[in-house]
Amino acid sequence: MGNCFGTAKKSAAEIAPSELIKSPPVIKLYGPPNSFATSHIRLALLYKPVTLHFVPSDTHPNPTLIYKSDVVSGSVEDILRYLDAKFPDPPLSVANNTASSIWGWCGETTPLVVWVVVLQHRSINWHLERMVKWAEDMAARGGNARGDPSMGSPRMEVKKFGKSYSQLLQVMLEHAQMEETVLFQILESADRGLCKSANEEHGRHLPIMNGIKEEIKTIGVMNAGSPDYQEALVNLTSRLKRLKENCRKHFEEEERELLPLMEATELNKQQQEKVLQQSLDVMRETHSHLFRFFMEGLRPHDAMHYFDLIKRYCDNVRVSLMLHMMVD
């Protein structure tokens, strides 16, 4: 799950003779550099096992893709279908992925904001799992051995860990605020008290989330390799595991018990669009400088689905900025 396209990988040359290494196929893409459609295709190609040569060109009004003898030009949807046909793994089309269903009840009438909430759940879950594994690795080393050389010294690694957790914390806080001020308000107006339990769980999670942030700060000034340092890392891992499990259960309960009820609110298309816009407005940092971080937590077809949802209802300037954060 997830796609860490920004993570450095071990060179294949380190594990295989050069004559056995196959270079990824090369795709050329021509199009206006500031075009929304061009940026959309560049985003999609991040997830495909190809090498992209992008050639900025204002002489091509539409994105034009060249692969071997194929020349493909047209709508974004046409080009995405071509890419899935030529490079089926990983698929980008939601229609090709049964895993996108929500507990078996989603369908064409599922409100747009429900999809946004569920996909945010998936990204948060993935990032929490990543943080737990990272903390376990640091605890196993105890400050006495280095892990990935790119992480630097143990103290440098803790700083990087703290930065990543702070990013996740901001996404989680904005997600909770969005649910409380937008989604839950709609459900509460239809049935008062319906979201009481979910709101209470948000309140219980907040001290745990903030406590972990403070604990990471404390570890950052401790002597690496000391018994206290080792114990603090073990405790941090335990708290992260508890938070991850609490969030997983909370998200599952929302998706089983609350989100299906959104369909019964019978929002018309205009109301759905307004609700979605309100949801995105609440989560401004998630959809600005944290957008790449957030999208890394989604599987390719989920990432493209999420982007497809927000591009419909955000202004073009905002969407273009998000795209540039991903592809530049």
Give the C-alpha separation, 270 to 185, whole Å.
Answer: 17
Band (4; pLDDT cuts 50, 70, 90): very low
Q: What is the pLDDT of residue 3?
A: 54
Q: Residue 200: count other Cβ atoms within 10 Å of its Cβ.
A: 10
Band (107; pLDDT cuts 50, 70, 90): low
Average pLDDT, the chain: 86
Q: Which of 128-137, 149-158, 216-225, 307-316 is the least confident region?
A: 307-316
The one-letter amino acid at 143: G
Give the C-alpha separation, 2 to 295, whole Å.
Answer: 8
At 51-100, the pLDDT tens digits run 999 999 988 888 999 999 999 998 988 999 999 999 998 888 755 444 45
pLDDT at 204 over 90: yes
11 vs 325: which has the higher pLDDT: 325
Give the C-alpha separation, 173 to 206, whole Å.
Answer: 8
Please report, rounded to a whole number, the percentage of residues in the chain having pLDDT higher than 90: 60
Q: Token digits for 14?
A: 């380190």
19 vs 317: which has the higher pLDDT: 317
Q: Which 8-state DSSP code applies to residue 263? A: G
Helix 300-313 × helix 316-327 angle, to 10°: 150
Band (134; pLDDT cuts 50, 70, 90): very high
Q: Residue 175: count other Cβ atoms within 10 Å of its Cβ.
A: 23
Bridging pattern class, strands 51-56 and 26-31: parallel
pLDDT at 123 over 50: yes
**Element of type H or E holding 71:** strand 70-73
pLDDT at 15 over 90: no
Mean predicted confidence (pLDDT) in 160-185: 97
Which pTM does this prediction carry?
A: 0.84
Mean predicted confidence (pLDDT) in 127-146: 90
Mean predicted confidence (pLDDT) in 274-291: 91
Asked if residues 182 and 113 have their Cβ atoms less than 8 Å apart, the reply is yes
Contacts (Cβ under 8 Å, ≥6 apart) of 211 = 239
Band (327; pLDDT cuts 50, 70, 90): confident
Q: What is the pLDDT of residue 292?
A: 92
Give the C-alpha separation, 220 to 66, whole Å.
Answer: 49
The SS3 call for residue 58 is coil
